[in-house]
Amino acid sequence: MKITVTIFLLTLICTAQNLFAQNEFSRQYNLALKFYDEGKFYDAVTECKRLIFFDADSQYTYCAYMLMGKSYKMGAKFSDAILNFTNAELNAKTSDEVFQSKIEIIRANILRRTTDRALQLLDELDDDKNFSSRTAGINYWRGWTYIFADKWKKAAVSFSKIDSCKQLEKLCRQVDDDKYSETFSYLISHFIPGAGQIYTGNYVSGILSLGWNVLWGYVTINSFAANRIFDGLIELNFLWLRFYNGNLQNAQKFAVYENQKIANKALYFLQFQYKGLKP
């Protein structure tokens, strides 16, 4: 009888201790969440580290690593964020937790512009039969990866596979249509100096480039025609070719610049006006 009572008391004490520990861990995790919501990311990380140290049964380890990863991400420390999201994945107990931690790793890679790594991880998720029902989520973040890689057409293709992403698909197709061909701008300037600048909407620069090339071309040809060979060589190498090569460089430079303006306008919209989930 005494032995039975003793065992009962010990069981009761152990249960009470476990409940107290769980409540304490819950309180500490909620405190870390509170710091995160208030923008106190350093404090959130500190509380998560304490929680992981004392949580011997790893009840909150996954959540703590995820919260640390998000805190580092908010502080633009993407490598540290990825490290903690990876630790969260290693401590995941369900397929949902594994998938979510992998997605967070991908999102951090998108933000730090390591897009090749993000695409590699997305391909691995796509090939994993355990996540065959997560195709929409995979394509969604693949689309965002292509956006940050400035591959708007491929982004549109990825979003087109998701019924709820028609707005993003339309935006990406519009950006791709609006962007200038850098190759065409460069090539057309070989045949008509200034045409590349005019093609990208820089009319003054294009007209000036055409004018200078016509002027020095005329002067150079006249020098050769008058048998002033030395003058013709000087004018050819130091004047006409100088403006001709400058025209080629400007044509490509203006195409790149205008394309950046188009892409940045779309990125500005996505950052401040798009209401959906972002990296």
Span 115-141, pLDDT tens digits: 999 999 999 999 999 888 999 999 999
Structure tokens belonging to residue 164: 């709820």
Mean of the per-residue pLDDT values of the chain: 83
pLDDT at 273: 92
C-alpha span between 32 and 200 (Å, rounded) = 52
pLDDT digits 0-9 by tens, 33-76: 999 999 999 999 999 999 898 888 888 999 999 999 999 999 99
pLDDT at 242: 67
More confident position, 11 or 194: 194
**pLDDT tier for residue 28 given thresholds of 50, 70 and 90:** confident
pLDDT at 162: 94
CA atoms within 13 A of residue 250's CA, in its CB half-sphere: 24
CA gyration radius, the chain? 31
- The SS3 of residue 94 is coil
Reported pTM: 0.83
pLDDT digits 0-9 by tens, 132-179: 899 999 999 999 999 999 999 999 999 999 999 999 999 999 999 999
